[in-house]
Copies of this chain bind each other. A is one copy, B any other.
Amino acid sequence: MKTTEMAKNIAEPEIYRLDEQVGFMLRRATQRHLAIFNNLMPDFTPTQFAALAKLCELGPVSQNELGRQTAMDAATIKGVIDRLRKRGYVTTRPDPGDQRRIQIVPTGDGRTAYLERVTAAQEITARTLEPLSPRERGEFLDLLGRMT
């Protein structure tokens, strides 16, 4: 930061430093998080767990609605649900009131798997935020939440 300021004073020609761009830093932070996630919950991907968690929270929903709630587009949520269904964590059934819709329902296995992993999920968040002090964690989450 000091060197940057000094450089600006002598009219440096605005060098582009990849390592200082938000996008790159977001990607790196995400990579680290994914590694932590994969260690602590090897049998689920973050998206799969997100979908299962939201589903257990909301109860039966349509596929696209679940996608919206978990920030996945229609094509993505389809694949995620397909894999969760193949593994027996969710079932699908036609919506009685709307023939376009498919209701997604968590199975008993699905609910159990979710509940068994809530602690691990919280630990994942904790470890990801570990490099920051408790005060900074709140700040970071606040700022990050406003970047949406």
Residues of A within 8 A of B (CB): 1, 14, 16, 18, 20-34, 37, 46, 50, 53-54, 57, 70-71, 118, 121-122, 124-125, 128-129, 131-132, 136, 138-141, 143-148
Task: Give the complex CA separation of A128 and B143 in angstroms.
Answer: 12
Task: Give the complex CA separation of A35 and B57 in angstroms.
Answer: 29
This chain's copy number in the assembly? 2
* Shortest beta-carbon contacts, A-B, top 10: A29-B147, A140-B143, A28-B148, A16-B118, A22-B128, A25-B144, A131-B146, A21-B125, A26-B30, A23-B33
Contact B25 A145 (CB under 8 A): yes
Name the distance in Å between A144's Cβ and chain B's nearest Cβ.
Answer: 5
